[in-house]
């Protein structure tokens, strides 16, 4: 079960250049595999117990022993190995065959065979690199993980099948009995589960080996270069600075965090002001003045709460028309001297406030805007270190992805597309190498 889950879910990430493969594996192990309960286990058991002959629309039967992919003499993948995973995924959707999937079935089959090829290559590489031997510590960790998962399975089965009058001892015996039944029906053993976890550990060590080749100094240099580029763009091409990641690397002097509360006019009033603004601006101004006066008491109350130190989140809930948008930024909006995206009135007001903690207000066609100078905005060493960590993670991922592509070139996997009912890539025969 675990191997099926590992292959179907996380092996896809081995070939994703936008993900850190190693960290994703760790995440899956912690958050997906070992949280799997009765639903996952039962679905897998049903898939395995139903046999390894999938109906591919035409209900064609294929022998488990037929080879569907191979890499020279070193790697061979049988239809039986492929079918276990495919059946598992189908079972998650309550499907007995793949007729309902249509073209999506082809994509799914392609994913699964690609995942299997990748797994086999990683395990072969583990042997070549001499990391296929597990340490005592790794073995102990695997045992602990396996035991925890088995207990989770037992508990899930007990929750499903136990009666209210059972004692704890009877429930424990029931859990063991039901688990053994499930394993037997699935034609797998606890040793199989252990072996699958061992394979995961070996594959992880291969990824470690590749990622260790990336030095942090390269990521630090990339951070330093990005800081320089951010400063240049701010002066020479502010739109590029504003639209990119640069504000998280460098900020100009007097950058501020501004908390914004819009005490807005009602929708009908805003619509009327908008309709008059073009043809009769004086009438529009009069409407704004009248609407603002109606909000005077509410704004006075808001000002008193600001002075009394009421939390920004509470102010938004009580007074703001923009509470949904502003709540996304609990520390306020980042404002830099050239930030014209907020509008001139907003920017002028933001920079009219002299001291942190003070506020100002202005009125426009939407209502009364109250701005609080929350804090100075600065890039700290921790911020830069965090950016370096992200660069390092991406560089490691790129390094591993490049290595995996080289290994695929080296082993030149051949897939029987016709047997799996997958469309062969352009220029590739139905049973041909697919790198």
pLDDT tens profile 103-126: 888 888 898 899 889 889 999 999
Give the burial string for 220-233 (b: 16+ CB within 10 Å, else e): bebbeebbebbbeb
Quote the pLDDT of residue 6.
37
89 and 24 housed in the same domain: yes
Give the burial string for 136-166 (b: 16+ CB within 10 Å, else e): eebeeebeebbeebbebbbbbbbeeeeeeee
**Cβ(82)–Cβ(420) under 8 Å?**
yes
152 and 9 housed in the same domain: yes
SS (H, E, C) 57-123: CCCCCCCCCCEEEEECCCEEEEHHHHHHHHHHHHHHCCCCCCHHHCHHHHHHHHHHHHHHHHHHHHH
206 and 299 housed in the same domain: no
Residue 241 falls inside a structural domain = no
| Residue, of 29 and 132, whose pLDDT is higher | 132
Residue 334: helix, strand or coil by DSSP? strand
Residue 28 falls inside a structural domain = yes
290 and 396 housed in the same domain: no
306 and 360 housed in the same domain: yes
Per DSSP bridges, beta strands 359-364 and 256-264 are: unpaired
Q: Residue 419: enclosing H or E segment and its boundaries?
A: helix 417-420
Residue 226 falls inside a structural domain = no
Residue 52 falls inside a structural domain = yes
pLDDT confidence band for 327 (50 / 70 / 90): low
Distances (CA, A) of 397 to 21, 277, 340: 6, 54, 37
Number of domains present in the structure of the chain: 2
371 and 426 housed in the same domain: no
pLDDT tens profile 210-251: 999 999 999 999 999 999 999 999 999 999 999 889 999 999
d(CA 189, CA 303): 69
Q: Which residues does residue 67 pair with via DSSP β-bridges, in sequence order?
A: 78
pLDDT tens profile 19-55: 333 333 333 333 322 223 323 333 333 333 333 444 5
175 and 312 housed in the same domain: no
CATH number at residue 278: 3.10.50.40
* Total H helices, total E strands in the chain: 18, 8
> Exposed, middle or buried by CB within 10 Å (0-12, 13-18, 19+), for 135?
exposed
pLDDT tens profile 263-313: 999 999 999 999 999 899 999 999 999 999 999 999 999 999 999 999 998
Q: If we measure between CA atoms, which residue out of 18, 15, 11, 12 comes closest to residue 394? A: 18
Residue 299 falls inside a structural domain = yes
How open is the CA angle 32-192-50, to the nearest 5 degrees?
Answer: 80
d(CA 239, CA 55): 55
200 and 303 housed in the same domain: no
Residue 33 falls inside a structural domain = yes
The values of phi and psi at residue 431, to 5°, are: -130, 95
**Cβ(321)–Cβ(262) under 8 Å?**
yes
Q: What mean pLDDT do residues 391-408 have?
A: 93
d(CA 135, CA 34): 21
Residue 322: helix, strand or coil by DSSP? coil
27 and 142 housed in the same domain: yes
Weakest mean pLDDT among 14-18, 293-297, 322-326: 14-18
d(CA 184, CA 189): 7
Residue 124: helix, strand or coil by DSSP? helix
Question: Structure tokens of 54?
Answer: 């999938």
For residue 337, give its domain range.
254-376
Weakest mean pLDDT among 21-35, 56-70, 390-404: 21-35
Q: Can you give the pTM of this predicted structure?
A: 0.69
């Amino acid at each position: 079960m675990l191997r099926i889950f590992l292959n179907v879910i996380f092996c896809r990430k081995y070939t994703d250049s936008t993900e850190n493969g190693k960290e994703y594996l760790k995440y899956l192990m912690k958050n997906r595999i070992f949280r799997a309960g009765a639903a996952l286990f039962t679905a897998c058991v049903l898939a395995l117990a139903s046999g390894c002959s999938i109906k591919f629309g035409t209900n064609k039967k294929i022998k488990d022993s037929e080879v569907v992919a191979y890499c020279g003499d070193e790697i061979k993948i049988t239809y039986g190995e492929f079918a276990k995973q495919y059946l598992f995924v189908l079972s998650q959707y309550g499907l007995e065959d793949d007729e309902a999937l249509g073209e999506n079935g082809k994509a799914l089959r392609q994913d699964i065979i690609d995942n299997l090829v990748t797994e086999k290559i990683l395990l072969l590489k583990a042997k070549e690199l001499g990391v296929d031997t597990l340490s005592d510590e790794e073995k102990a960790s695997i045992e602990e993980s396996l035991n925890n998962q088995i207990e989770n399975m037992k508990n899930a089965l007990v929750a499903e099948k136990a009666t209210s009058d059972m004692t704890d001892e009877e429930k424990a015996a029931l859990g063991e009995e039901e688990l053994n039944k499930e394993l037997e029906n699935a034609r797998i053993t606890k040793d199989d589960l252990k072996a699958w976890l061992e394979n995961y550990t070996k594959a992880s060590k291969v990824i470690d080996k590749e990622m260790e080749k990336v030095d942090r100094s390269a990521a630090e240099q990339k951070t330093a270069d990005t800081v320089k580029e951010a400063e240049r763009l701010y002066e020479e091409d502010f739109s590029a600075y504003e639209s990119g990641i640069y504000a998280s690397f460098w900020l100009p002097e007097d950058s501020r965090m501004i908390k914004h509360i819009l005490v807005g006019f009602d929708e009908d009033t805003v619509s009327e002001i908008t309709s008059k603004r073009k043809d009769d601006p004086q009438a529009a101004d009069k409407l704004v003045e009248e609407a603002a006066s109606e909000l005077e008491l509410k704004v006075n109350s808001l000002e008193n709460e600001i002075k009394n130190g009421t939390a920004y989140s509470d102010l938004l809930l009580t007074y703001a028309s923009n509470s949904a948008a502003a709540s996304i930024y609990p520390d306020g909006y980042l404002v830099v001297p050239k930030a014209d995206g907020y509008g001139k009135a907003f920017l002028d007001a933001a920079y009219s406030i002299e001291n942190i903690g003070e506020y100002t207000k202005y009125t426009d066609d939407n209502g009364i805007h109250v701005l609080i100078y929350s804090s100075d905005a600065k890039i700290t060493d921790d911020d830069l270190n965090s950016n370096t960590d992200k660069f390092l993670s991406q560089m490691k991922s790129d390094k591993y992805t490049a290595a995996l592509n080289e290994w695929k070139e080296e082993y030149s996997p051949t897939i029987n597309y016709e047997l799996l009912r997958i469309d062969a890539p352009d220029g590739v025969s139905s049973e041909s190498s697919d790198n």
